[in-house]
Structure 1
Amino acid sequence: MNAPTKVKPINDLRSYIAALEANGVLKRVKAEVDWKYELCHVSKVNEEQKGPALLYENVKGYDIPVFTSAFTTPQRIAICLEQDPSLSMCQLSRKWMELTTKKMVKPVFVDKPPVMENVITGDDIDINMFPSPWFYPDDGGRFFGTSAFMVTQDPDTGWTNLGTYRAQVLGKDILGSQIIKGKHGDMHMKKYKERGELMPAAYVVGCDPVLFLTSSTLVSAQTDEYDVAGSLRGRPVEVFKSDLTGLTYPANAEIIAEGFVDPNELMEEGPFGEYTGYYSGNKGKDYPKPVLRIKRILHRNKPIMWSTTVGKPINDIHMIQSLNRTATLWHDLETMKVPGIQSVYFPAAATGRFWVIVSVRQMYPGHSNHVADAVLGSTTGHYGVKGVIVVDHDIAADDMDRVWWAMATRFDPKRSAQITQRGRSTPLDPGLPIEARDVTSRIVLDCCTPYEWENKPNEIFMDRSVLKKVSDRWNEYGFTGASPVAEMIDRLTRPEVIKGKGGK
């Protein structure tokens, strides 16, 4: 595998952009681009072609650049994680699982954080000083927060949460906040409401990209995302404590809009073209949203705005959800001691959320059902998942051609499909009526050959010794590069593990 071009450690958005440029996967757009519609449309077309990350250096009416398309390929995610750029999503997710099952790494507090190079207060506050894009014509307006997270804190325990809740510009000092019911930020807000107090909160734009990845990750309550990010980096995240809100912020953020949320103050927000490919936040149909009243804006000298396109797959959001939900589900199954897990995958094309595939080496009758039940009972899988596909160990969870083959040849609808009626849903699921999105049904598709069958179908396999010969002579046949046979040999040849002797 090819090692990434050596760059400085990634600790902020600027070092990530430098790393992308060093690896040849960043394009600087120097032509003037309008923040209203045009910027999003250029980015989306580029993403459909699997193009590079983009840095718009000439946004109409602004001297602040806008960065988009940060994570639309596994290679860019690997660079962000300081891993080998040739790793697949399943391999990256396994790395994530392995790192986060070790000890969490607490953040370190620093003096003179770069984000406080500029402090804006009072009448000078105007969130429109930043080039927040207007993405699609039917959106309700400009959105400051798409590649952003909200910082809140549990008033009882001090637990800090980073949550990816979109933020619409509703006024020069007002940001609409889609804090979905049941999310950790909502849990915090309920406590402040019971106390009759305002909730301190802040939106962070531009930071170490690992913080954005972890802010959109389903981690357990009372777990700080700063600790998770530290474990992924192998070093502490640099933070500081705000003298205005008392919250802990990333020191190297580009922009922070901080203030307070009144749990009793709600405003209409949206619509917004979401990651599902459909609009949400339709005025008159959805519940109104809480708002952040901005009391102070912090930003670095020459700040960089970070935004992500949304809409139909595949864009940053789908790739992020695919990575972190795959990784956290794998972490869940590992800590639940479910044996035999070979790989896990939330397909980005399925929005990185609603369907999950798990590969398992079966060891006992009902093992594949054990896996499916564990998925739906996990921290990651209990929320929003509508379908679980379980395949045998000879199929990688992200090998969609083989997954379809398993569905065709190892699946029987009567035996292999199980439907449950009630599971926790997301209000963003367009497959459910807008007035009834709290609960969804779920289906398990068990695409494994039953372990207990004595007479299993006779599968075709290649000869291991002949494949070894093919691998040795690969370049003699006129092919260039390393032989792909080494990675294929276990999948294409007869398994050497006999019944009852399986393992991880």
Structure 2
Amino acid sequence: MKDMRDFIATCEESGILHRIKAEVDWDLELSHIAKLNEEKSGPALLFENVKGYDTPVITSVCTTAERLAVIMGMPKESTLVQIMERWVEVGDNLLPPVEVDKSAAPCKQNILTGDDVDLYKFPVPKWYPLDGGRFFGTAHFIISKDPDTGWVNLGTYRSQLLGKDKLGTQFIKGKHADIMLKKYQALGKPMPVASIVGCDPLLFILGAARLSAFTSEYDVAGAIRGQAVEVVAGETVDLPIPAHAEIVVEGEVDAEKFMEEGPFGEYTGYYSGVGTDPRNFIDVKCITHRDNPILWGTTVGRAVTDTHMTMALSYGATLWQQLKAMKIPGIQSVYCPPEGSGRFLAIISMKQMYPGHADQVLTAAISTEMGAYGLKTVIVVDEDIDPWDIPRVMYALSFRFQPNRSQVIKRGRSTPLDPSLPIDARDITGRLLLDATIPYDWKEKPIPIALDPDVVKKVESRWSELGFE
């Protein structure tokens, strides 16, 4: 799969994409159709007739494990955890992108500069009633480059439409784009960036992931795909651009310049503030796009939408991968539920091998790149509990967890999007580490109740005789 059009064709063949031909208003109506569809676990939606525009809009791309499997090139019936396992298996085999000829790159079919730059030519939705305006970047990613090392980062940061050549940004403290922007600020230069809308959906998923610093999402995409991502040079920025992108917005961010931005209905189900805030913005210099481009957006909002499924996959797989890189033995599987946006709660299944092993895994989880930012609750369970089997996790919390063995860590890096903290005090969070295992060091462990296997076979052989189907 190279682009969004490959995804659309594959989903249409499988009957998991629906084309909406009736006219739909970009102002709230489109988003509400998408959100109600997502709450019913409906198909991906391609809005072909957006009021006042010729450009279609696609939503609900990642809402189900079935469509995530399509994106990952796996069988449709794959579970979310199987998809994560695949990521963990191949994600370390980094494969850098390859530059291709500009003349053959679909993203260069139309090049707009100067007075022709106009973001209002695209059907950018207004998603929720209290949003501060229309948000161009919800299912996009922003490319930036470290001025010292050349490390290329793909990061998903919301982008509000603030003018025909202005896009808002929200580079949260400590995020990779924020770290890079501060370096450009020290140099007295604006930071070149590019916003990418509609390409290989895997790149968006990776843009939302918490990869380690100095690792490019392009390289991980190559590892997962088994082939290098095709890129081309930007028109006005020295950045690698996905050759098959639908829409590319090139520009620069000046750390010293601000515009009022927000509010926006976030994936926590709440607004991250009560009004607008002065934020940095992208001063747009050039737009390139394919013929008949497709705008991709996500409803974000209350779980579970494609945002939450994307984060459950990318955050869960990344946490699992980073724990694996620590070479801690005994870790069986990791699950970050989409209901927790994939980032606030992690459940880890492990085979205990020595005293203190569970404590090691708990503290390791919040020491990873992924876990150090915003992860609030970590639960470890024994190897007989699948972490995605929430009823069994509840069983472990009820019958194996003892509060005296839990740990409370009162300081950790938070996110300004966490609604459990006051709006003006979201830099620091607390962390709760729950050991829901039977302690390794107990001499006498609880004796589990088990069925007799011979009697089970006997009963199963008589199942129909007993009147069961």
Q: Within the alignment, does 1:119 sit opposite 2:129 as a pair? A: no
Q: Give the match for residue 264 of structure 1.
A: 256
- 1:170–1:479: structure 2 CA closer, same or farther, 3 Å change rule? farther
Q: In the TM superposition, what is the alpha-carbon distance from 1:334 to its structure 2 partner?
A: 0.7
The SS at the match of 2:111 is strand
Q: Within the alignment, does 1:224 sit opposite 2:224 as a pair? A: no
Q: Give the match for residue 110 of structure 1.
A: 100
Deviations 1:454-503 (A, max 9, x none): 222221223445656788899999999xxxxxxxxxxxxxxxxxxxxxxx
Distance 2:326 2:364 in 1: 8
Q: Within the alignment, does 1:430 sit opposite 2:419 as a pair? A: yes
Q: Give the match for residue 327 of structure 1.
A: 317
Unpaired segments of 5 or more residues in structure 1? 1-9, 481-504
The SS at the match of 2:177 is helix
Distance 1:426 1:413 in 2: 27
Distance 2:65 2:453 in 1: 31
Unpaired segments of 5 or more residues in structure 2? none
The SS at the match of 1:280 is coil
Q: Give the match for residue 366 of structure 2.
A: 376
Matched letter for residue 332 of structure 2: Q
Q: Within the alignment, does 1:42 sit opposite 2:43 as a pair? A: no
Q: Give the match for residue 213 of structure 1.
A: 205
In structure 1, which of residues 306, 310, 313 is the aligned counterpart of residue 303 of structure 2? 313
Q: Give the match for residue 459 of structure 1.
A: 448
Q: Give the match for residue 68 of structure 2.
A: 77
Distance 2:203 2:366 in 1: 26
Matched letter for residue 38 of structure 1: E
Q: Which structure 2 residues correspond to residues 83-98 of structure 1 after superposition, within 5 A?
A: 83-98=74-89
Matched letter for residue 322 of structure 1: A
Distance 1:297 1:426 in 2: 31
The SS at the match of 1:268 is strand
Q: Give the match for residue 364 of structure 1.
A: 354
Query: Is the CA contact (8 Å cut-off) linking 2:235 and 2:286 kept in structure 1?
Result: no
Of 142-151 and 79-88, deviating more is 79-88
Q: Give the match for residue 56 of structure 2.
A: 65
- 1:133–1:472: structure 2 CA closer, same or farther, 3 Å change rule? farther
The SS at the match of 2:391 is helix
Deviations 1:358-397 (A, max 9, x none): 0001111111111101101111111100100111100111
Matched letter for residue 187 of structure 1: I
Once the two structures are aligned, what percentage of the paired residues are identical?
A: 53
Matched letter for residue 462 of structure 1: L
Q: In the TM superposition, what is the alpha-carbon distance from 1:343 to its structure 2 partner?
A: 1.0
Q: Within the alignment, does 1:18 sit opposite 2:12 as a pair? A: no
The SS at the match of 2:257 is strand
Matched letter for residue 117 of structure 1: Q
Deviations 1:113-133 (A, max 9, x none): 110000011111110101110
Matched letter for residue 31 of structure 1: A
Distance 1:231 1:11 in 2: 14
Q: In the TM superposition, what is the alpha-carbon distance from 1:17 to its structure 2 partner?
A: 1.0
Distance 1:367 1:439 in 2: 27
The SS at the match of 2:372 is coil
Matched letter for residue 100 of structure 1: G
The SS at the match of 2:317 is helix
- 1:436–1:465: structure 2 CA closer, same or farther, 3 Å change rule? same
**Aligned residues between the structures:** 467
Q: In the TM superposition, what is the alpha-carbon distance from 1:243 to its structure 2 partner?
A: 3.6
Q: Give the match for residue 297 of structure 1.
A: 287
Q: Give the match for residue 130 of structure 2.
A: 138
Distance 1:472 1:129 in 2: 67
- 1:246–1:407: structure 2 CA closer, same or farther, 3 Å change rule? same
Q: Within the alignment, does 1:396 sit opposite 2:386 as a pair? A: yes
TM-score, scaled relative to structure 1 = 0.90
In structure 2, which of residues 245, 256, 271 is the aligned counterpart of residue 253 of structure 1? 245
Q: In the TM superposition, what is the alpha-carbon distance from 1:453 to its structure 2 partner?
A: 1.5
Deviations 1:398-423 (A, max 9, x none): 00010001111111112x32101101
Query: Is the CA contact (8 Å cut-off) linking 1:268 and 1:283 kept in structure 2?
Result: no
Q: Give the match for residue 487 of structure 1.
A: none
Q: In the TM superposition, what is the alpha-carbon distance from 1:224 to its structure 2 partner?
A: 1.0
- 1:476–1:164: structure 2 CA closer, same or farther, 3 Å change rule? farther
- 1:205–1:281: structure 2 CA closer, same or farther, 3 Å change rule? farther
Q: In the TM superposition, what is the alpha-carbon distance from 1:283 to its structure 2 partner?
A: 2.9
Query: Is the CA contact (8 Å cut-off) linking 2:272 and 2:423 kept in structure 1?
Result: no
Distance 2:359 2:334 in 1: 15
In structure 1, which of residues 337, 346, 357 is the aligned counterpart of residue 336 of structure 2? 346
TM-score, scaled relative to structure 2 = 0.96
RMSD: 1.7
The SS at the match of 1:249 is strand
Matched letter for residue 205 of structure 1: V
Q: Give the match for residue 145 of structure 2.
A: 153
Distance 1:11 1:473 in 2: 53
The SS at the match of 1:79 is helix
Deviations 1:256-304 (A, max 9, x none): 01011111101110100000011124436x5x21100111110000100
The SS at the match of 2:231 is strand
